[in-house]
Structure 1
């Protein structure tokens, strides 16, 4: 399957809304079924300089998305990720390609030391993908989110820049 990855554009709102609300995607995202298209359009028009979003596109539609929000002030060395793939394209390399793109941006353009994300305990395929991309579980937040009428645990994962932090003191107890 052929697809390209590019920066998100406001015209992508309808496709993104379609993905966000798919029955196979919605349980793993922070969205709710009543999410409106205009809220997606407004968010895309108001992205700031610390928000970087990409979409994977075929010839005629968006099939995946990934966002990176860079921290501010004392967290300016880190970024938080979120990702989703159209249910019809799961397991076809879209998520891997999006993560590769954003890791390159983070490592080689933004010089971030840390990338972090949350993954629900009910989504082991996504967790395995993140592990393949160098993310490690750092902890679990019990009953972090409501999904389909149940409280679900969330694993917090992070990836440290492979050439960063080596010469810096990291304090922990």
Structure 2
């Protein structure tokens, strides 16, 4: 059996098709972390070519098969809407390949995301002001995940 993680997005009322409600949505094979950056820019690795803002779709299986790059994939969606509300609506779903495992989340706007062969990884918070960084940096979930996975070492393989 080849190692793949499969995503499936479904919505209870919307027809299958392009995912709605996110200004940006993507999956990223994470191989390392740059603590000098935040958002997607803090990750080292490869953006999944088959799941990003221009092609993310519901009603189909999305096969993440570049696990030779990394067995950790971060799925992220930046919600549309006012800045003050986005932090509660954004999608953050880091997963690690694990044969037979599964995870599910529901987005703020009703999409159910089912993950096959992946276990959801935690995103522990980082205290405001950590190492003198502004809150926009330390409250970023991508940054928090990268720090938890890699520490301040800027490279290395995911555990």
- The structure in which a higher percent of residues are strand is 2
Report the TM-score, using the length of structure 1 for normalisation: 0.30
- Radius of gyration: which is bigger? 1
Report the TM-score, using the length of structure 2 for normalisation: 0.32
- Structure with the bigger RCO (C-alpha within 8 Å, sep 6+) is 2
- The structure in which a higher percent of residues are helix is 1
